[in-house]
Amino acid sequence: MAPLIAFQNVSKRYPDGEREILVLDAVSMTIEAGVSVGVYGTRRSGKSTLLRLAAGIVLPDSGSVRFDGLEMAAMSAGARGRLLRGSIAFMSAEDWRAHPGETVIDHVATSLGSEGLTMREARRRAVRILDQLGIGAGGAQEIAASLSLTDRTRVMLARALAREPRLLVLDEPALMPNLGDRDRFYAQLRAAARERGLALLIASEEMAALQGVGVLVSIADGELCSTDERGTVVPLPRRRATGAR
Question: Which position among 21, 33, 57, 93 is part of the footprint of another protein (CB under 8 A)?
Answer: 57
Nearer to another protein, 118 or 232 (CB): 118
Q: Does position 97 bind another protein by CB under 8 A?
A: yes
Q: Which stretch binds another protein (CB under 8 A): 3-11, 36-44, 90-98, 231-239?
A: 90-98
30 near another protein, rule: CB under 8 A: no
**Per-residue mark of binding to another protein, 148-177 (x: CB under 8 A):** -----------x---x--------------
Residues 202 to 241: which contact another protein by CB under 8 A? none
Residue 117 interacting with another protein (CB under 8 A):
yes
Cβ closest to another protein, residue 59 vs residue 207: 59
User: Binding residue for another protein (CB under 8 A) from 2, 70, 119, 187?
Assistant: 119
Asked if 95 is part of the footprint of another protein (rule: CB under 8 A), the reply reads yes
Q: Is 81 in the site for another protein (CB under 8 A)?
A: yes
Q: Answer for the pair 49, 98: CB distance below 8 angstroms, yes or no.
A: no
Residues in contact with another protein by the rule CB under 8 A:
52, 55-58, 77-78, 80-82, 84-86, 90, 94-95, 97, 99-102, 106, 110-119, 122, 159, 163
